[in-house]
Structure 1
Amino acid sequence: MERRALLGLAVMATAATTLPPEAAKASSGGGGGASADTYLRLPIVTASILHGDGRRGVLSIETGLDTPDAALRLRVQQSTPRLRAAYNTAAQTFANGLRPGMPPDIDRLASALQAATNTVMGRPGARLLLGSVMAV
């Protein structure tokens, strides 16, 4: 079978199984994730790492914040540059502690970034959400 025909079948199958937005909202009652109105996606945070063979690499971290409190959410949006600076500092400190060639400890990274969030905001309430963490 030709590759194009196979890709076309895959697209059709995906489109047939996708729910309309109204049905998706109805079926996702309280799954525990962040809703669109309380979630703020932040730019990717990067840090320099050292590979096992001595080459330099990059640690990339996708971050976002879930803030249910409206007043704190406004403050989070206004403090985005301070949050990015705190995340860059925390990520580089974390990356400096990595042993060359070892995978990053995501739990420790999440704790460091959540602590940076709480410090910048002055109180807890904004929950850090991690997307992908890649070391290349």
Structure 2
Amino acid sequence: MTRMFCLLALLLASLPAAHAGGGAPAPAAEEAPSRGGRSITHVESYVPFDPILAAVQSDMRLRGVIHIELGLNTEDASLRAKIEQRMARLRNAYNSSIAVYTGVHYRFGEMPDPELIASMLQRATDETLGQDGAEVLLSLVMVNGR
């Protein structure tokens, strides 16, 4: 199982490098400003984030790293602007939530619980933004163990 996760991580890591090197450059009109992580869609309502990484410990030792890719989806343009303004605060809240998840809820060797992770990240999103309306969408949850 760990080999599969390592292979998936290697494939994901090679995608941007392989994609960026070849082919003709895209027209300037199609370029969009970078808003964070790897976007899984070009829908305007989706705001991608850089991956969240957190240590996984067991028996007082580092056992691996949890890797989570996510974005927020909202149809409200003013809320999207608020998300862009509070990107650093949101990342801080997400890192704190995932540290709690790996320290309290996750046991090394088990499958991660994406529903619990999404719930914790949704709560952090709502508290950081001070309102509902931005939906957390997970695109990847992976544990790379030693």
Tell me the C-alpha RMSD between the 2 structures: 1.9
CA contact (8 A) 1:51 1:101 kept: no
Equivalence for 1:23: none
- Counterpart amino acid of 1:112? M
Show the counterpart of 2:88: 81
Contact preservation (8 Å) 1:50, 1:101: no
Match of 2:131 among 119, 123, 128: 123
Structure 2 residue 47 is the aligned partner of structure 1 residue 40: yes
Choose from 111, 114, 132 the match for 2:119. 111
Residues 63, 108 of structure 2: 8 Å contact kept: no
Runs of at least 4 residues of structure 1 off by over 2 A?
Answer: none
Q: Which amino acid aligns with 1:128?
A: V
The residue aligned with 1:29 is none
Letter in 2 for 1:74: A
CA distance in 2, matches of 1:116, 1:71: 19
Any gaps of 5 or more consecutive residues in structure 2? Answer: 1-40
Residue in 2 that maps onto 1:11: none
Evaluate the alpha carbon distance shift between residue 70 and residue 78 of structure 1 in structure 2; reply closer, same or farther with a 3 A threshold: same
| Paired amino acid for 2:100 | T
CA distance in 2, matches of 1:132, 1:51: 23
State the aligned residue count: 103
- Give SS of 1:103's match: coil
Residue 127 of structure 1: how far off its partner (Å): 0.5
SS at match of 1:43: coil
1:90 correspondence with 2:69: no
Could you tell me which residue of structure 1 aligns to residue 25 of structure 2? none
Please, what TM-score do these two structures have when normalized by structure 2? 0.66
Q: State which structure, 1 or 2, has the greater radius of gyration over its C-alpha atoms.
A: 1
**CA shift at 1:55, angstroms?**
4.7
The normalised TM-score by structure 1 is 0.70
1:62 and 2:62 are equivalent in the alignment: no
- Give aligned-pair identity as a percent: 37
